[in-house]
Amino acid sequence: MSPTILFITPPFTQLNTPYPATAYLKGFLNTKNISSHQMDLGIEVILALFSFAGLSNLFLEAAKKQLSLSDNSRRIIHLQKEYIKTIDAVINFLQDNNPTLAHLICQGNYLPEASRFAQLDDLEWAFGTMGTRDKAKHLATLYLEDISDLIIEAIDPHFGFSRYAERLGRSASTFDELDRVLNQPDTFIDRILIDILKEKIEHVKPDLVCLSAPFPGNLYSAFKCGQWIKRNHPSIKIALGGGYANTELRSLQEPRVFNYLDFITLDDGEAPIFHLIEYLRGDRGKADLKRTFTLENGVVTYFNGSKEFDYAQRDVGTPDYSDLLLDKYLSVIELANPMHRLWSDGRWNKLTLAHGCYWGKCTFCDISLDYIKRYEPVTAALLCDRIEEIIKQTGQNGFHFVDEAAPPALLRDLALEIIRRNLTIVWWTNIRFEKSFTLDLSILLMESGCIAISGGLEVASDRLLKLIDKGVTVAQVAKVTENLTKAGIMVHAYLMYGFPTQTAQETIDSLEVVRQLFENGVLQSGFWHQFAMTAHSPVGLNPDQFGVKRVSQKLGTFANNDLEHIDKSGARHEAFSEGLRKSLFNYMHGICFDFSLDKWFDFKVPRTTISPRFIEQALASPEPKVIKASTKFVWLGSTPVVKYYVKKGKKNPVNMAALTFHNKKDFFVIQTKEEWGRWLIETLPLLSVNSDTVSSFAEVEQSFNDSGAGDFQIFMNSEAFVELKENGLLFL
């Protein structure tokens, strides 16, 4: 008999949608006919805290410290009746249950206001383009952030909406501080967490609790859960997995960890969890577990004796979101950054298109680890099966494909399958800005429901892009962003500064490239990250090759991933942080393009060496029109109505065809030779996106030539062909 299993995502990840790890594992266990339970403890804690009862208790707790608090926190306490009165209605509104409240919120006399509302003067530009509901969501978000400021100052300094005690998990080479904090008296937030956990444990009565910690901001709560379960239900076994363990805990030596847990598993969780279940029911020896740490005779021991391979992506099942409180998540608007808004607003079903990264070369990335290096795509048909099943489960048709870099060929096939099945979905994903993302492919992706794409522009310098081994150039990135933008897809760029050997000159030149991309309208969103050297990246594994020196070669006994380092030849990178942030904030809003770059910094910076028309010229340079024999022809348009007629000329009359095409907004007419028209009437249905087969260029050319319509190359240079290309004929 299999143990009863409870998957838990500890606080906190996102307010608007569940992190998918537990849904993936629950879906996998379904394929083994093993039932399991899951909960997002984060959203449940938030809902308990931000409620009439939660705030009533919060203000009682905060009042004990009122004399030592800031003016802002004391103001919030003075307004506590207003907060307690409005909180349930605001939460209900953010759950999309009471849209009419937006009018009251926007009137400006409903919500109590503290320091966060001082931002409003700076955000009037946003309210000009935001509707009433969006504006109300943003105001309600500021209201919640005011309360969170009070919580951080008066109740729990570790609190954060999308992370909790994140500092304790970051670069924690020893377990000392985390262990010390865990053994202090429970905080106000801890008590809420424990009350909810206690109720769930008593209801489910699990034999095995699996905690997923994807980020440093989940780690403290994961251990707090383990601590309470160990103290109160010592017979329950506890396993920890997820992104934090996979990257940070691979060299674990600290035995005190197992005062809170029984097992830690690494990498894909399906096989390790299934093996653990077999072990707990007596069907497998401990030595034959898969990628699992546990304590053996007081020593941290790694067991990986299993001979079985990891499960193929086709066999892991469809993510199962049942048990999760899908109608209780909060849609908030924290920032006006368009991509960050997608992260926080709306419910997104998360799904992976392919295991690993098809490129797998970027030198800053953890390409030595399994989740990157083992590339395994899934077929478009199977993905669409899973999409349809998830829509039935959740009632939601929004999808975030969470791949490191979605493969362009698979995106093409998926888009075609979505359109063939007449599915209505809204989706976004992350890509590498490679040349495969042509205008035609971008149009196809948009037609299938793609609304946004993010990708790594990184350092915006050809020298450094080559050092990163990104496989793209700045000019190429500009072309791809233009293609996506022309298709109506919003484009977000991940931007990096501080890569090894990056000079101040290159940082300023990268900023100029970014300025020009926004000025030319081909980039709509972006975010600067400072380079972090990780232990499993090529830079971390071979720092000398990249001109950096590790501060310490010694591994800690607990977490080892982020590596402190010295850039021997680069700039003083952290000095650029604020100037890069401020400039980007303005560029995203379409202003300050004429500011000299040095105005963004409070120290002397070099003049840019980038031509002021660099991006404009890159966009103007023609792309080579290479059509291979294998290039796919796809027709997105309708079947035309044809009328044949005779065109009388000065010499001989000409037999003609008029083809009328109706699209969603209008119609257009193509007038052409009769033989060309007859071929189009026969062929366009075969090229239709709804056709079961996809025709190649070689097949289409042969069909045209065999029809007696003439030379296909002449037809391709005709006005009729140009009109077809402009209205839905794609080369893929």
State the CB neighbour count (10 A cutoff) for residue 231.
Answer: 9
Q: Are 258 and 221 in contact (CB under 8 A)?
A: no
Let me know: does 138 contact 62? Beta carbons within 8 Å.
no
Query: Which ranges of the chain have pLDDT less than 50?
Result: none
Q: Is 586 exposed, middle or buried (0-12, 13-18, 19+ CB in 10 A)?
A: middle
Q: Please list, residue by residue across 127-148, b when 16 or more beta carbons sit within 10 angstroms of its beta carbon and e when fewer do.
A: beebeebbbbbbbbbbbbbbbb
All structural domains of the chain, each given as residue ranges with its CATH number in brackets, are 5-42+164-310 (3.40.50.2300), 338-619 (3.20.20.70), 632-731 (3.30.390)
Strand partners, 209: 6, 238
Note the pLDDT of residue 524. 94
- pLDDT for position 336: 62
> Quick one: pLDDT at residue 68?
86
> Whose CA is closest to 422, among 450, 380, 386, 384?
384
1, amino acid identity: M
Distance in angstroms (rounded) separating the CA atoms of residues 506 and 441: 32
> How many other C-beta atoms are found inside a 10 Å radius of the C-beta of residue 383?
24
Tokens 């850039």 label which residue? Answer: 567
Strands of the sheet with 695-696, listed across from one edge: 695-696, 632-635, 729-731
pTM of this structure: 0.93
Where do we find the tokens 């010229």? Answer: 617
Paired strand residues for 565? 550
